[in-house]
Structure 1
Amino acid sequence: MSKPVIGLNADYRAANGDTPAFSYVGAGYYDAILKADAIPLVLPPLEEMDDLNQVLDLLDGVLLVGGADLDPRRDGWMLHPTVRPLDPRREVFDRALARLVCERRIPVFGIGAGMQLLNVTLGGNLLLHIPEDRPDALPHRDALDPQHRHTLEIMPGSLLDRVYGDGELRVNSRHHMAIDELADGFAVTAKCPDGIIEGIEYQGEDWFALGTQFHPEANTASALDMRIFEEFVIGTKENAEAIRLVA
């Protein structure tokens, strides 16, 4: 059986003076896909929906990578002064990509801002600044520790429970925005002890959709974190097999 092909969105920087515009993606994302025995395919910020649909026809799954902040004005909220929005060209593409992935029920794994994007695409919303919206929360962005880690509570019976099992878990989660209201069809499967959502999973049997606020692809991740990508690739294979049987 051929390996699954996983599409990754990329970050984008507009031209600035003598520096040309360019796209890039952290190597940890595609290295994790490669280690999970799948083929990563980095997607440029396509503008034509027909082009994007044609590309999606070639993919077995989509990894929504992390990055800067989603612009809350696109969801009807005011711009908080702490928000540092994605480049508009990336955000327009990311939102179109996420919408089509959800409509077509393509297996998807969202990380960091990618999980937040998955949530807002399906009707959920976000806390714009944890220290203000949840003043009793633990620090989720430590200016003195770029590898900031905190403990995680995993929901029994979830995919993340299958990955991590029993015992205390510490993850590399560093952010100031977070999921507030959860999109329909999803369940919270991991959270910080202060209640901030760190993992979500779709509950229906017709779609594999997973999100983590923490970053299992980072160089501070553990060997167990890699298991999340393996589960994602298994989900893409099972979806492809189901489609083949129906066809």
Structure 2
Amino acid sequence: MSLKPIIGLNADFRNTARSTPAFSFLAAGYFQSVIKAGGIPVILPPLQDEESIQAALDTMHGFILIGGGDLDPRNDGFMKHPSIREMAPIREKFDRLLMNEIAERRMPVFGIGTGMQLMNITQGGNLFFHLPEDLPEAVPHRDAQDLNHRHSLNVESDSLVGRVFGDGEIRVSSRHHMAIDEVAAGFRVTARCPDGVIEAIESEMMDWFALGTQFHPESGAASALDIRIFEEFIDGVRERVENELRLVA
């Protein structure tokens, strides 16, 4: 029986609002995709100290950074654009501490949506804050009236997303107004929308299995092929764990 990797997922957070208490939550598509792909999902609420994050990661084989609200540009020395709808500060603090520890460990990581943006910016890249202004010729990358909004994708064949989608027309579930501008050192672009907006990145570092998608393969509007991204990630995590076990044996 093959190993089932333990895959961590960060949870979103909502502050107290009127009669609703504060709560932490996760869209079901994330953990359902991990289960379908052969992993065991473990969900972390926002932890606020490095020691707790380190102890939690000690029990895991890989991590998926979920999407959500916008990162606050002021945390990276930029002005806040009026279009920004930032995530709860308690979550952003957790996500940044978490990403820094994942990078330090070279733990396998898959960033989705905001998760990919966080991975890129913490590793030295930067972001467009509002595509309609920064790239006015870009096609719409979100539709407030259609949560199932999709657009086409061009992929690099020699990549994980290339193995998943192969040749032919590809359409993915997309809902974002921020995107990667400059890619962090050690990563390469492996998929773009035809308008040039970066939709996937992957690590070129031999010691770090890391990838990100701006589109959402966990979405209910995703295609049957999209689950293969989770399978590729979890297969890669499993291979690394089994190699480590063979070295110890």
TM range (shorter): over 0.9
CA RMSD in angstroms comes to 1.1
- Counterpart of 1:188, as a letter, is V
Task: Count residues with an aligned counterpart.
Answer: 247
TM-score after normalising by structure 2: 0.96
SS in 2 for 1:110: strand
The runs of 5 or more residues in structure 2 that have no matched partner are none
TM-score after normalising by structure 1: 0.97
- Counterpart of 2:144, as a letter, is A
Runs of 4+ aligned residues of structure 1 deviating over 4 Å after TM superposition are: none
- Counterpart of 2:130, as a letter, is H
Could you tell me how far apart the structure 1 residues matched to 2:239 and 2:128 are?
34
Cα deviation 1:165-215 (Å, max 9, x = unaligned): 010001111110000010001000000001000000001221110100000
> Which residue matches 1:5?
6
1:166 and 2:156 are equivalent in the alignment: no
1:243: how far off?
2.6
> Which residue matches 1:198?
199
Contact 2:3–2:238 under 8 Å retained in 1: no
> Which residue matches 1:151?
152
- Counterpart of 1:6, as a letter, is I
> Which residue matches 2:86?
85
1:18: how far off?
2.9
Could you tell me how far apart the structure 2 residues matched to 1:19 and 1:144 are?
25
Q: Which moved more, 1:139-148 or 1:96-105?
A: 139-148
Identity of aligned residues (%): 58
1:235: how far off?
1.2
Could you tell me how far apart the structure 1 residues matched to 2:122 and 2:244 are?
24
Shift of the 40–129 alpha-carbon distance from structure 1 to 2, 3 Å rule, reads: same
SS in 1 for 2:208: coil
Could you tell me how far apart the structure 1 residues matched to 2:241 and 2:84 are?
38
> Which residue matches 2:223?
222
Could you tell me how far apart the structure 2 residues matched to 1:15 and 1:130 are?
31
Could you tell me how far apart the structure 2 residues matched to 1:9 and 1:123 are?
22
> Which residue matches 1:23?
24
The runs of 5 or more residues in structure 1 that have no matched partner are none
Mapping of residues 131-142 of structure 1, within 5 Å: 131-142=132-143
Could you tell me how far apart the structure 1 residues matched to 2:61 and 2:144 are?
38
> Which residue matches 1:123?
124
Contact 2:191–2:199 under 8 Å retained in 1: yes
Cα deviation 1:89-115 (Å, max 9, x = unaligned): 000000100111011011000000000
> Which residue matches 1:243?
244
1:113 and 2:119 are equivalent in the alignment: no
